């Protein structure tokens, strides 16, 4: 996962919400972590849907990293071991689904489109005073409107000892600008070996994989209030226009369209980046 931010609170697992009286299919709740929060690897006996507002959530499942930004959620099937990180001040929401009462099943983590209707229904289900009939009606509508997102945004880690040092270094510092040639020389191997290893394990070239990793990190920084110039510098781009073009290639839109505040100067940054002067 990403380097742990200073002041991060580490928790063992997300606690299950207080159970509603009577039969239920969905339990929902929300909270706002005041500091960056990290959850150690854990699993739940229930399916879990997590989403955030005003920040990002990153989750690692085996050799994949999922980044959840506003408007999207992540469905975690029951029994899936996962860890996570949430930015400070993000509104963290989760809903747990009883497998025996859920009329569908995703076999692996899936990004979910969090429509206003779906969010409203899940907020409604967070109430503990709902009568059984009202709860059942709301749950039925949730099952009707809950759908996978068109964009499944995940970063596949190599899991190959020949190139894992590259992945580890870039997770620690996405702005590391060492070239393919430099990495091959440092690892005592050939550029061709590094290229083939990335293609075989991730389906991407080294350059494509690094660009995708930087897009994941950019979502976290932009949601934390950093402007494009700062994020561009942190991620190792020569100039903001290069970062904007790279972000568009991965995300299909510009950082300003994704996070309107990123276009201008931000007076208050929720999650400062060490060693970078915020403009």
Q: List the pLDDT tens digit at each of the 279 positions of the chain.
A: 677 777 888 888 766 665 544 567 888 888 888 888 899 999 999 999 999 998 899 999 999 999 998 899 999 999 999 999 988 888 889 999 999 999 998 999 999 999 999 999 999 998 888 898 999 999 999 999 999 998 888 999 999 999 999 999 999 999 999 999 999 999 999 999 999 999 999 999 999 999 999 999 999 999 888 999 999 999 999 999 999 999 999 999 999 887 765 565 433 334 444 443 332
Looking at 115, 145, 175, which one is the last position of a domain?
Answer: 145
Identify the domain containing residue 232 by its residue range: 158-263
Q: What is the largest CA-CA distance in the chain?
A: 66
Please tell me the total count of domains within the chain. 2
Residue 41: strand, helix, or coil: strand
Q: Are residues 166 and 187 in the same domain?
A: yes
Q: Are residues 99 and 73 in the same domain?
A: yes
Looking at 113, 145, 177, which one is the last position of a domain?
Answer: 145
The verdict on residue 82 lying in a domain is yes
Q: Are residues 131 and 83 in the same domain?
A: yes
User: Can you give the CATH number for the domain in which 83 is found?
Assistant: 2.60.120.280
Prediction pTM value: 0.85
How far, CA to CA in Å, does 123 sit from each of 27, 104, 257?
A: 10, 21, 27
Number of other residues whose CB lies within 10 A of the CB of residue 102? 18
The verdict on residue 93 lying in a domain is yes
Cα distance between residue 230 and residue 261, in whole Å: 13
User: Can you give the CATH number for the domain in which 189 is found?
Assistant: 1.10.10.60
Q: Are residues 89 and 206 in the same domain?
A: no
């Amino acid at each position: 996962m990403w380097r742990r931010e200073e002041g991060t609170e580490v928790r063992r697992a997300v606690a299950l919400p207080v159970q509603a009286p009577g039969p239920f299919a969905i339990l929902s709740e929300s909270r706002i972590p005041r500091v960056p929060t990290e959850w150690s690897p854990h699993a739940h006996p229930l399916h879990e849907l997590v989403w955030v507002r005003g920040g990002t959530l990153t989750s690692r499942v085996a050799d994949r990293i999922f980044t959840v930004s506003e408007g999207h959620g992540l469905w975690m099937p029951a029994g899936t071991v996962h860890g996570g990180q949430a930015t400070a001040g993000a509104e963290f929401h989760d809903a747990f689904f009883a497998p025996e009462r859920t009329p569908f099943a995703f076999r692996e983590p899936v990004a979910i489109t969090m429509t206003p209707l779906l969010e409203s229904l899940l907020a409604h289900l967070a109430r503990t005073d709902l009568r059984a009939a009202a709860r059942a009606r709301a749950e039925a509508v949730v099952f009707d409107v809950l759908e996978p997102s068109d964009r499944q945004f995940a970063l596949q880690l190599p899991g190959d000892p020949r190139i894992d040092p590259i992945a580890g270094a870039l997770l620690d510092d996405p702005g590391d600008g060492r070239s393919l040639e430099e990495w091959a020389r440092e690892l005592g191997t050939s550029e061709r070996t590094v290229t083939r290893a990335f293609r075989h394990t991730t389906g991407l070239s080294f350059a494509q994989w690094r660009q995708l990793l930087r897009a994941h990190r950019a979502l976290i920084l932009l949601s934390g209030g950093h402007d494009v110039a700062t994020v561009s510098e942190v991620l190792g781009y020569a100039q903001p226009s290069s970062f904007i073009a790279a972000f568009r290639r991965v995300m299909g839109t510009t950082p300003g369209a994704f996070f309107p505040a990123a276009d201008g100067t931000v007076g208050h940054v929720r999650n400062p980046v060490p060693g970078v002067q915020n403009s």
